[in-house]
Amino acid sequence: MRLMKNILNRVPLKVILLVVISVFLWSNSAKAQKSIFPSLGDSRSGTSGFQFLKINVDARSAGMGNSNIADAFDASSLYFNPALASRVDKSQFYISHTGYFTDVSMNYLSYVHKLKTVSLGGSLMYLDSGEMNETDEFNPLGTGRVFRTIHLAAGVTFSQQLSDLFSYGVSTKYVEEKIEEIKSQSLIFDIGFFYQVGTTGLRFAVGLNNFGLDATPTGETIRPTTDGIVTETNFEDVSPPTMFQIGAAYEAFKNETLDVLVTGQLINPSDNAERYSIGTEITFMDQFFLRTGYEFGLDEYLLPSAGAGFILPLTKYDLMIDYGFSARERLGSIHRFTLKFNL
């Protein structure tokens, strides 16, 4: 009891802030179909291509409900918010694996090179569906043919810390999708900004991700009709899934052995309804981590996400291992693993 009283006396404002954020998000969860920002997302659902760009690559973020645009201080920043790349402590290699639905897997590799107040980065995101049996309206059990889908994004990033409180970053990415014999290619951009509110432990971030040029699919495919086999060669242009994101992170409690971080994020996509999320990370002795979070406005999202991680010191280097878990009602569980290695 004495320890609890000391905590409450030391951090009343932080506790109040956490409660206010939680009440706000929960009270609005029943109104998930209403947007805070004007959006045509509902009416444009399913109209964008390159949907693999929406898949979270980071185990830590997944465990926190995809809410850490303001707290990705590692090489995952190249995916979430390039402004944070300039705030990494050291150059870092980053590898992640996502076991997605129906045995589909996705891998992500990135590297951030630290140069004082500037960081340079490179990233590669790759998803391969594996071979799938082709079906159509005349052959619901299969045509005898197999096909696969391949998706990749390769990017370069520039990030600069203009002051102790403010930084920005820009990423340019080449994206490609191949479904059967049809290929789509485009060039897209991410822009991010980060601001830290002095020494209060509060920080904000804003990002505009995946905006750029429409892609014109090329190639051909055949499909059966009542008039026979038809070869399709003309396709509609495909737009990238642009997302506006705004988020905050707050150090709710900190002492020599325990840190408590609270995060929140709102995502306004161009091709779907608005969603928002909250997350928490508890750090023990700057080495062990427990995480949980929840996303509002997503279909079939029933259980909070969860995750854990630890740091393994290796001489003057550090090896960081993270695991993140999330689940959907009918599609099942998603497991993510991340390895980070400082140089």
**Per-residue pLDDT tens digits for 16-54:** 344 434 434 443 443 433 444 444 445 456 668 899 999
Cβ within 8 Å of residue 68, ≥6 positions away = 58, 60, 61, 80, 247, 249, 263, 265, 279
Averaged pLDDT for residues 183-194:
96
**What token pair was written down for 149?**
């889908």
Averaged pLDDT for residues 55-77:
96
Q: How many angstroms separate the Cα of 85 from the Cα of each of 78, 121, 242?
A: 7, 8, 21
pLDDT at 306: 97
Confidence band (pLDDT; 50, 70, 90) for 172?
very high
Higher-pLDDT residue of 137, 201: 201
pLDDT at 268: 93
pLDDT at 327 over 60: yes
Higher-pLDDT residue of 317, 44: 317
pLDDT at 38: 46
pLDDT at 39: 44
pLDDT per residue over 117-158, tens digit each? 999 999 999 998 877 777 877 777 777 778 788 999 999 999
Highest mean pLDDT pick, 99-113, 196-210, 227-241, 310-324: 196-210
Could you tell me which of 195, 233, 189, 246 has the C-alpha nearest to residue 212? Answer: 189
Averaged pLDDT for residues 323-340:
91
pLDDT at 181: 85
pLDDT at 205: 97
Provide, rounded to the nearest whole percent, the portion of the chain with pLDDT above 70: 86
Higher-pLDDT residue of 30, 98: 98
**What token pair was written down for 118?**
């500037």
Look at the alpha carbons of 4, 196, 293, 59 in this order and tell me if their dihedral is positive or negative.
Answer: negative
Report domain extents, the chain.
2-342
Averaged pLDDT for residues 187-208:
96
Provide, rounded to the nearest whole percent, the portion of the chain with pLDDT above 90: 60
pLDDT at 75 over 80: yes
Confidence band (pLDDT; 50, 70, 90) for 9?
very low
Averaged pLDDT for residues 233-247:
92
Q: What CATH number has the domain spanning 2-342? A: 2.40.160.60
pLDDT at 45: 62
Q: What is the pTM assigned to this prediction?
A: 0.84
Averaged pLDDT for residues 11-18:
43
For every residue of 123-173, DSSP letters joined together read EEEEEE---EE--BTTBTT--S-EE-EEEEEEEEEEEEE-SSSEEEEEEEE
pLDDT per residue over 260-316, tens digit each? 999 999 999 988 888 999 999 999 999 999 999 999 988 777 789 999 999 988 767
Averaged pLDDT for residues 86-106:
91
